[in-house]
Amino acid sequence: MRKIVSYLLLAVPIAALLGLAFVGNSCANTTTPPSGGLKDTIPPFITNIRPLPGTTRVPVHGTQISISFDEYVKVKDPKGIFLSPPLEKSPKYKMRGKSLVISFESDLQENTTYTLDLTGAIVDNNEGNPFPGYTLVFSTGEQIDSMVVTGVVRDCNTLQPVKGATVMLYKDLADSAVFLKRPDAAMKTDDWGFFALRNIGTGPYRLYAMRDAAADNLYDSENDLIAFVDSVIVPKIVALDTLPELLKYDMKDTLHCMARKEEYEMLLFREKPSRQMIRNRMRTGDRSAYVTFMAPNAAVDSLWIGGFPGNRVITQFNIQRDSMEIWVNDRRRMPDTLHVFVDYLKTDSLGLPKPSVEHLRLAMEKKSKTASKSARRNLKHEDTTCVLNVMAHPETVEQYGFIFEFKQPIIYEMFDSVSLIGVNPRQQEERMEFSVTRDSLNLRKYTLMPKAKLQAGYEYKLKVPWRGFRDINGFYNDSTEVKVSLPKDDKLSSITLDLTGVNNRYIVDLLNEKRDKVLRQYLIESDGTLEFPYLKEGKYSIRITEDKNKNGMVDTGSLLGHRQPEKVKFYRLRDGSYVIQVPVGTQMQQHIDVAQLFRQ
């Protein structure tokens, strides 16, 4: 049975509505269900509405809307009672018998078509059966607007539909409207991220979607997520009650929910702050500190520390350039307070970048003499050692190699003293050659990559000798040894991707089923083959991101900059699924035409 709940009350005479109300009142629907019998699974339905759907010249002051049901109901989610265009305050409601009475704290606008949506708001009193929803249309003017705009809102990184996003239309086409004014029409997305802004004027409009943290229908770039359509839109579809996109469906009815036509796909993203200033600073050690900025891409012209020559100061930005680590490469006893000067572009009161020099006083935490003596007695070995962490995982060592990460920058290194030894199944050892690469974004991180192909059944031992490295504190490292072997479990599987049509730089990610965790990653710029070995049985997704600025990360968008987030696509199987089911002990191979994928 087609799971559609549609109330075409315009076609139902008042007498029939009253008759339904009479029947509803005679069916023993009370707040206390009778004992025994089958469980009630039938959702409540509407028996009467005042004013009737399609009513015009509705008063703008003191307006009340009464919706009667065939049984006692309650409001489960007040946010589901949504008026468009929205007022400053959300609608108020109260229950009067089997009727829901809705009122407004401020006057309605004159000559305006309104829609009152109840999707997801109502359940019955007895069993909590959800009322599928209804949209009441009325006007304070002489006519009802008759156009509709449809679409879907998705997360820009996962492409998953976003439920409960507020979709908004503005007649004011200025970029500032979404910050300063409430929309001329609005709607909440359903479980599928779908929206239908119905009974609107002919336009033109600007179309936005927002995850509205404050529920005030105004965009706050600090707290809200935003999506937008690049161009001005003009509605093309007439809002008929029989239009499939306007019918109320059971959200579990996959067939009909997915069949609805979407005019616009909107990608929701969190905008990075635009106002630039120093947000935080801290002294983290005798010779180390950090400074964080309000917005990314901080434009720092220079940084110096009072009393130390410039060549003794080491700095490093993170990949977003909104946080900077600072070290002093000097063996002298450090002062209690470091005087750090930062010359950078700071946002002034007019919102414009202006050269500014800030003086930061970074003091060490003061301790009493007793505490200082106790601290010296409680010194740990790592407090006087060049701390080194070496990481290698069996599943990823072929791709990522051995990762060296030091706690402090090193000023002396002897990677030639490091040895990598392969041990075959007969316990015969062979010294292996390797290359060492310093990370371009983290000066404390190095990658040691074997030159020969690693083999299953072999054990690989990486030995780091004592005093092979020295950090800016003058401390040497301890010796350490890391052992790793390629997995030999016959139950593990692999995915091989043959990529063609690669005409740009792309980030290829293997994700878990929920698409919220990156398991493996490659950066590619040409056609080739990618291997994802040693996978457990389960479900995975392949995400490909067009990395236009070649920074190795998925960049968000900018509303005022009219820049959408970097384009993301998921590999789709022939059956339409984005999820790859990997069985036990299987070698899977997939071909992806990247150029064609991004044309879809």
Structural domain boundaries of the chain? 1-144, 278-363, 382-485, 493-599
The predicted pLDDT at position 125 comes to: 87
* Euclidean distance between CA atoms 208 and 182, whole angstroms: 12
Give the class (CATH, top level) of 1-144: mainly beta
Do β-strands 206-211 and 225-228 pair in parallel, antiparallel, or remain unpaired? antiparallel
Residue type, 287: R
What token pair was written down for 598?
């991004």
* Euclidean distance between CA atoms 600 and 596, whole angstroms: 7
CATH domain 382-485 topology: Immunoglobulin-like (2.60.40)
What token pair was written down for 478?
């301890």
* Euclidean distance between CA atoms 556 and 565, whole angstroms: 4
Residue type, 364: M
CATH domain 278-363 topology: Immunoglobulin-like (2.60.40)
The predicted pLDDT at position 180 comes to: 93
The neighbour count for residue 537, using CB atoms within 10 Å, is 13
> Which pLDDT tens digits describe the chain residue by residue (600 residues)?
434 444 333 333 333 333 433 333 333 333 444 455 566 678 898 999 999 999 999 999 999 999 999 999 999 989 889 999 999 888 999 999 999 999 999 999 999 999 999 988 899 888 888 888 899 999 999 999 999 999 999 999 999 999 999 999 999 999 999 999 999 999 999 999 999 999 999 989 999 999 999 889 999 988 999 999 999 999 999 999 899 999 988 888 999 999 999 999 999 999 988 889 999 999 999 999 999 999 999 999 999 999 999 999 999 999 889 999 999 999 899 999 999 999 999 999 888 899 999 999 999 876 555 555 555 556 688 788 999 999 999 999 999 999 999 999 999 999 999 999 999 999 999 999 999 999 988 999 999 999 999 998 899 999 999 999 999 999 999 999 999 999 988 899 999 999 999 999 999 999 998 898 999 999 999 999 999 999 999 999 999 999 988 888 888 899 988 999 999 999 998 888 899 999 999 999 999 999 999 987
DSSP reduced 3-state for 180: helix
* Euclidean distance between CA atoms 82 and 91, whole angstroms: 7
Spatial CA neighbour of 273 closest among 290, 248, 292: 292
Give the CA distances from residue 530 to residues 246, 359, 505, 522, in Å, rounded to whole numbers and listed in that order. Answer: 45, 49, 15, 8
| Strand ranges for 229-364 from DSSP E | 237-238, 248-249, 264-268, 278-285, 288-293, 300-305, 313-317, 323-328, 337-347, 353-363
What token pair was written down for 183?
């929309």
Domain 493-599, CATH: 2.60.40.10
Query: How wide is the angle at C-alpha 267 spanned by C-alphas 208 and 600, nearest 5°?
Result: 125
- The answer to whether the 1-144 and 493-599 domains have the same CATH topology is yes
* Euclidean distance between CA atoms 401 and 433, whole angstroms: 13
The predicted pLDDT at position 274 comes to: 83
In sequence order, the β-bridge partners of residue 423 are: 429, 459
Q: Kindly tell me the burial class for residue 280, based on how many C-beta atoms sit within 10 Å of its own C-beta (0-12, 13-18, 19 or more).
A: exposed
